[in-house]
A and B are shown apart, each in its own frame.
Chain A
């Protein structure tokens, strides 16, 4: 049962946790009682702010700067996490690159960059965390996918490919890790209200999808699902992709 502190004594690593959905996931898992490794790629202040917020609420957190595309910095982060918390039960592969670009204008370097972070990053983090997740006894990996990978959209070949890859990766992990009682699932958010840079231009893919209620989701809407997947109520669910898009995509 998912009680008030059902993740007590557990430790979660959340990548890309400095803001928006990643930050909401970090705060939500902390509210469930887990200690959190708050990963960011470069903005140390953001990671520290999230860690402070968790600690101020009575939780435990470790800010960690590491680029998911760089296996060496990831290994160092996982070592630091183990040194601090002695265990690792959950990995949330949330770090991702977005952007829109016409296929005609997309360079190989741009394509590679998105795949390096979103897909290869999940691979590196999973590999680095694997021995610890296996010894958890009730480990969980949650990959954050995306609506576009399922519904399709223009000018996002790199993003759609990477996020679709995460769905396959999720299924593969379900099979490879089941014997060690590690579940692997994917949450596919769509149309979530997030903080954007000042010069942010609403991308075209936002205009082609519609929620049934007309309301956009909040980062919290996604975070609570991740908390459920980590907790004791979801131990028989593995290899699944759950859409949280207000019905914008019906499986």
Chain B
């Protein structure tokens, strides 16, 4: 039976999808019928995810890509098309967060590294993929941001700046491409139990404080974010564009 959440035969490219939220997004989309391109810096890790998805009856392929290098981003798009055909869904999920600490002492090269990997690279991908989507009649782009882009922090300020840029990127791309039936949305998770955010949840004291501040009294799991991205890519979200969808257990609803 067809549901409004189906992604039958849609081609989805998901960056940073060998682990954590990216992997959960790929698994959700594959389970709904999408052909997913698994991508991260390490090919072996991607191939493992591909095998896992295939074992469950899904379709997937692995392409390694360091999103900081333009040539690799171009190669990712090229290889994805070569293997599965035109891209219908783009999920810009890969990001870096190399610095913990105050902005006051942030080195220039850390600023550049974060902006390049988290913002400039996302725009590269969008510009490489969206025009073809438009030629094919439409598509969906999801930029995985963070509630760190909605709030201040004394520890991950630089990351927050790059994630706030995602919101502006989404609004502008939505306006630019809306007339060509491309929907562009941001997904802003709260703290999720991934390796990426390990420094934030491994500390028991921090975790307890965080839980106490969160209406649902817990941090999220990757498998609670995957279906939200799949929803945004699906016909169920056909009238949603230019938006920030927050999945954070309610923590920002209070601020």
Contact = CB atoms under 8 A, between A and B. Distances in A.
Given A178-B216, A222-B239, A236 B225 contact: yes
Interface in B207-255: 215-217, 220-221, 224-225, 227-228, 230-231, 235-250, 252-254
Given A175-B253, A211-B178, A236-B225, A250 B231 contact: no
For the side of the interface on A, what is the size category? 35 or more
A1 B181 CA distance: 26
Interface stretch (B1-9, B78-86, B120-128, B196-204): B1-9
For the side of the interface on B, what is the size category? 35 or more
A178 B239 contact: no
A219 to B, nearest CB: 10
A236 B248 contact: yes
A228 B174 contact: no
Contacts of A232: 227
Interface in A217-241: 217-218, 220-222, 224-225, 227-228, 232-240
A213 B138 CA distance: 11
A235 B239 contact: no
A32 B241 contact: no
Contacts of B179: 212-214
Contacts of A218: 239
**Chain B contact surface mostly:** mixed
A233 B230 contact: yes
A4 B31 CA distance: 12
A224 B4 contact: yes
A28 B216 CA distance: 27
A146 interface: no
B165 interface: no
B175 interface: yes
Nearest to A248: B242
Q: Which of A4, A28, A217, A224 has the most CB of B within 10 A?
A: A224
B171 interface: yes
B28 interface: yes
Contact of A239 (B1, B215, B241): B215
B241 A247 contact: yes
A3 interface: yes
Interface in B1-33: 1, 3-5, 28, 31-32
Contacts of A243: 240, 243
A6 B6 CA distance: 13
A174 B253 contact: yes
Interface of B: 1, 3-5, 28, 31-32, 171, 174-175, 178-179, 181, 190, 215-217, 220-221, 224-225, 227-228, 230-231, 235-250, 252-254
Interface of A: 1-6, 28, 31-32, 171, 174-175, 178-179, 181, 189, 192, 211-214, 217-218, 220-222, 224-225, 227-228, 232-240, 242-247, 250-251
19 contacts: A4-B1, A31-B3, A171-B254, A212-B178, A222-B239, A224-B4, A225-B237, A228-B236, A233-B28, A236-B190, A236-B224, A236-B249, A237-B246, A237-B247, A240-B253, A242-B240, A247-B174, A250-B175, A250-B243
